[in-house]
Amino acid sequence: MSIIIPMSRYVFGPVPSRRLGFSLGVDIIPRKYCTFDCIYCQVGRTTEKTVLRSSFVDPNDVIDEVIGHIHSRQPIDFVTFSGSGEPTLNKDLGSIIRALKKRMSTPIAVITNGSLLDRPDVRKDLAEADVLMPSLDAVTEDAFVRINRPAGSVSLISMIEGLRALRAEYRGQIWLEIMLIKNINDTSQHLEVLKEVVTSIGVDKIHLNTVVRPPCEAAAEGISEERLSEIQDFFGSTAEIICGFRKDHVRSSQEENWEESILAILKRRSLTPDDVARVTGLTRAQADEGLIRLLGEKRVKEHVVDGVLYYVATK
């Protein structure tokens, strides 16, 4: 039986996520409305840098879309508020989360840059989410301004105090992401202070990331895989590396392993070629090559929905 995928204005996916499994994304902010203008952002430069919370969408439309996808029988591990802007800028975020919790059992995650966590109204809106995923890229004012380019009223002190207040009040999981930029926040001196601050906050997980895709600014250069592993060891057992480094294409047992892994997922749901590249860490060209090979072996078949190409397992 075919899965009917609802038409969407605010919902995207579900997409495979390294951290959240199959994540149904919810985007409730106009494109590039943000409190930051981060040099590493893959979405591009912020066009509306603001700290003013507003009602950008009809909450009922968002809720109906999410519930429609939940009922579509697609495997969904998390409903995740993220997208092309800062989700806490939507002042209806809390009411949307509370309404969804009454109508579904799927856990809710919120990916936020953490810039508004010093505000009690924002923390109240996030209280019923199951997982919060804020960021803290810097603990010196110079690095903070260089990397995040915040709106004028957002300070490093307010961000750190907001994270501490969140931890004191919030009973769910806090997974803190740190985006490491070469020669800006990856020095030993900066990492020592960063570790001290993060430890004092008491997050549940530390997610280490670096630039692996084209950023909006050339100055945002990623660190090496080896350096990232060293930093993971430095932060200890709560630290995880969440980015995927792309490898040169060599047909090997490792590649055969990803093919088997993808086939296992395709037995549960369909994936686009971009999804496959995201899951495996391959380039899009390498993913296409592998999918064509699986297609020739009749282990997958193509399926087009609304002009989008998906692959599904044949058995």
Q: What is the CATH number of the domain that holds 287?
A: 1.10.10.10
Residues 259 and 159 in one domain: no
Of 241, 264, 288, the last residue of a domain is 241
Question: Do 292 and 207 share a structural domain?
Answer: no
pLDDT band at 280 (very low <50, low <70, confident <90, very high): low
Each residue's pLDDT tens digit, 153-177:
899 999 999 999 999 999 999 999 9
In a domain, 126, yes or no: yes
Q: Number of structural domains, the chain?
A: 2
Are residues 230 and 275 both part of a single domain? no
Statement to judge: residues 148 and 292 lie in one domain: no
Residue finishing a domain among 241, 265, 280: 241
Q: What is the pLDDT of residues 85-135, one digit of tens each?
A: 899 999 999 999 999 999 999 999 999 999 999 999 999 999 999 999 999
Q: Which domain holds residue 262?
A: 253-313
Note whether residue 5 is domain-resident. no
- Tell me if 217 is assigned to some domain: yes
pTM for this model (two decimals)? 0.77
Asked, for residue 6, whether it belongs to a domain, the answer is no
Mark whether 195 and 257 lie in a shared domain: no
> For the chain, what is the HEC assignment?
CCCCCCCCCCEEEEEEECCCEEEEEECCCCCCEECCCCCCCCCCCCCEECCCCECCCCHHHHHHHHHHHHCCCCCCCEEEECCCCCHHHECCHHHHHHHHHHHCCCCEEEECCCCCCCCHHHHHHHCCCCEEECECCCCCHHHHHHHHCCCCCCCHHHHHHHHHHHHHHCCCEEEEEEEECCCCCCCHHHHHHHHHHHHHHCCCEEEEEECCCCCCCCCCCCCCHHHHHHHHHHHCCCEEECCCCCCCCCCCHHHHHHHHHHHHHHCCCCECHHHHHHHHCCCHHHHHHHHHHHHHCCCEEEEEECCEEEEEECC
Identify whether 202 is part of a domain. Answer: yes
Say if residue 116 is in the same domain as residue 193: yes
pLDDT of residue 304: 80
